[in-house]
C-alpha cells in the first residue's frame, strides 16, 4: 500500500486498529521510565503505541507517511492528554537523529526487499547506546499456521533474518522468537503468528 491508500484507509472517523497498545509493547517495555527517556515509534499509523508510551512517561517521536493517520493520532493524543511529536515522513527515507532514542519500536511494518532493508537500517541507526530496538511483525509461518495478516510471503518476516540484520548493524539480540497472538474470529479465538525481536546497542563499542 502506498501513502494515498493508507490515507484513504485512515480517513474514516473510526479507528482501523484498536485504541489500546499492542500487547507485546506492554509486555516488553517496563512501566517505570526515568525522566527524559526518548522513544521512537516508526510507522506509527493511528498512534496507539506512541500514545501509550507517552502516557507511561516517555518523550515520544512518532513517524508515518500517512497524513490522515497522523491527524487521527494527534486527535487521540489530545483526548488522552499526552504530548507526542508527530512526523510525516516515509520511514524508509527519514533520517533519525543518530543514536537518538532509548527505545525504537517498529510494529507491523510489512515491507519487502530494499524498502525492508532501508526501514530496518533507519530503526537501527536511531537506537542510542544502551537503548532497545523492539520489532514485531507478521511471521512467514502465519501464512500456513496462523490467521489474518498479509497473504504475501514477500512482506512477512522470519525471526532469524531480522536478528541477523540487526546484529550486522551493531546491535546485540536479546530475544528473537516467533510468538502467538490470539485473534477473535467467528469460529472463536485463533492464534496469529508474529515475529518478535528485541535488541540493544551496547553502551560501549
Q: Is pLDDT at 6 greater than 50 in this prediction? A: no
pLDDT one-digit tens code per residue, 50-100:
999 999 999 999 999 999 999 999 999 999 999 999 999 999 999 999 999
- Residue 50: all three cell numbers together: 506512541
Residues belonging to the chain? 205
Q: What is the tally of structural domains in the chain?
A: 1
**Cα–Cα dist 135/200, whole Å:** 11
Q: Is residue 25 part of a domain?
A: no
Q: What is the pLDDT of residue 17?
A: 47
**Which residues constitute the domain of residue 61?**
3-11+33-200
The verdict on residue 27 lying in a domain is: no
pLDDT band of residue 15 (cuts 50, 70, 90) is low
CA angle 88, 172, 56 (to 5 degrees): 50
Q: What is the CATH number of the domain that holds 48?
A: 3.40.50.150
> Residue 18 domain-assigned?
no
Q: How far apart are CA 142 and CA 105, in angstroms?
A: 21
Amino acid at each position: 500500500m502506498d501513502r494515498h491508500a493508507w490515507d484513504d484507509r485512515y480517513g474514516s472517523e473510526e479507528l482501523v486498529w484498536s485504541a489500546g497498545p499492542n500487547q507485546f509493547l506492554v509486555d516488553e517495555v517496563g512501566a517505570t521510565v526515568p525522566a527524559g527517556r526518548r522513544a521512537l515509534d516508526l510507522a506509527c499509523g493511528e498512534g496507539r503505541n506512541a500514545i501509550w508510551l507517552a502516557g507511561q512517561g516517555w518523550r515520544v517521536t512518532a513517524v508515518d507517511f500517512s497524513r490522515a493517520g497522523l491527524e487521527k493520532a494527534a486527535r487521540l493524543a489530545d483526548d488522552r492528554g499526552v504530548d507526542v511529536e508527530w512526523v510525516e515522513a516515509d520511514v524508509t527515507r527519514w533520517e533519525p537523529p543518530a543514536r537518538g532514542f532509548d527505545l525504537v519500536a517498529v510494529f507491523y511494518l510489512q515491507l519487502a526487499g530494499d524498502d525492508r532493508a532501508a526501514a530496518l537500517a533507519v530503526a537501527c541507526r536511531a537506537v542510542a547506546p544502551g537503548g532497545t530496538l523492539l520489532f514485531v511483525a507478521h511471521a512467514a509461518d502465519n501464512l500456513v499456521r496462523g490467521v489474518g495478516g498479509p497473504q504475501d510471503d514477500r512482506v512477512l518476516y522470519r525471526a532469524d533474518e531480522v536478528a541477523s540484520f540487526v546484529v550486522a548493524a551493531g546491535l546485540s539480540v536479546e530475544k528473537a522468537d516467533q510468538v502467538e497472538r490470539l485473534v477473535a474470529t467467528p469460529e472463536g479465538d485463533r492464534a496469529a503468528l508474529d515475529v518478535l525481536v528485541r535488541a540493544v546497542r551496547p553502551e560501549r563499542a
